[in-house]
Amino acid sequence: MKYKLLGRSGLKVSELCLGTMGFGTEGGWGADKETSFKIMERFANAGGNFFDTANIYKLGTSEKFIGEFLNNHDRDYFVLATKYSLMDNKTNPNASGNNRKNMMRSVEESLKRLQTDFIDILYLHIWDALTPIDEVLQGMNDLIRQGKILYAAISDTPAWIVSRGNTIAELMGWNQFVALQVEYSLLQRTPERDLIPMAKHFNMTVTPWAPLAGGALTGKYLRGEKGRIKEESNRLNENSQRITKEVIAVAKKLEVEPSHIALKWTMQQPLSVIPIVGATKEEQLQQNLKTIDVTIPEEDMQHLNKISAIDLGFPGKFFQEEAVQMNTFGGFYDKVEKR
């Protein structure tokens, strides 16, 4: 396992992140405690040190399992990311949302479940369109000064909100967001319209959730296997099936699994990307770990980019027009090094 710097920080994290949303059996699915421990152990033995969880995952069971696991291991070896924002009870109007009160309350509860004195990375989980972004950043910086969290990050939030937040942080001398978590895969490339360019500009690492599109990109649904994706999901529509078949074809050509191609495609993007690989079975993780030894040739990357391309809309598509590039760069577009 190789390691990458997380965003503009000096924090070193593994090139794959272990997603733990399925640790616990609440809701009728997931991994029990014994299996969850085996998955974490196998990930650590492979060199993985980056765990992703949230206060609400399996009603807190995910954090509890991780806390017990870390109690029997070297806590400082692991980089632990959790999230706040989503409700953990319905009796308190401030037990959800991005507000400072919920942030402080949620972090204290997460620390108890995780049995640790600090959280390495705290994500805002989902934007609530109510809380000022400066309230969020000031709260996170207070937690950083208190030593309860080390880095600030954000998930599932519009690009202009994140941009405004990082700009305010820079002006105020606060810590900026180091990572951006969004849905991103060969079946979900719409973040390329604004979120991905924004992350690249601010040197934020992108940590995609559902990089396998809920398992659709493994090809198992095309084989008639069942899973948690509903039949009416866009991940199984005609266009998604077309893309998945192309992924399978590239995988056969390179003699690897479709999941390896789907994951490595995110990792070979022209910015820092660390996919979150979830697992509820040891064999799932073991299969995903093989991705680190795969390299997709440039011609196959170009092919995958082409067959999964989306309409960038305005202004992204407008910028790509030949006449626009000629007028903007005077014929030197291909001769200028891009950042």
Q: How many angstroms separate the Cα of 96 from the Cα of each of 22, 92, 104, 129?
A: 21, 8, 11, 13
Q: Do the Cβ atoms of 202 and 196 come closer than 8 Å?
A: no
If one counts every other C-beta atom within 10 angstroms of the C-beta of residue 95, the result is 16
Q: CB count, 10 Å around CB of 153?
A: 24
| Dihedral (Cα; 138, 141, 145, 150), 10-degree rounding | 160
Of the listed 57, 84, 123, 151, which one is catalytic? 57
3 state DSSP class of 115: coil
Q: What is the maximal distance between C-alpha atoms in the chain?
A: 63
Residue carrying structure tokens 């082409």? 306
Q: Which residues of 167-201 are buried (b: 16+ CB within 10 A; e: fewer)?
A: ebbeeeebbbbbbbbbbbbbbbbebebbbbebbee
From the number of C-beta atoms within 10 Å of its C-beta (0-12, 13-18, 19+), residue 78 rates as buried
For residue 123, indicate whether it is catalytic: no
Size of the chain, expressed as the number of residues it contains: 339
Q: Point out the residues that are catalytic.
A: 57
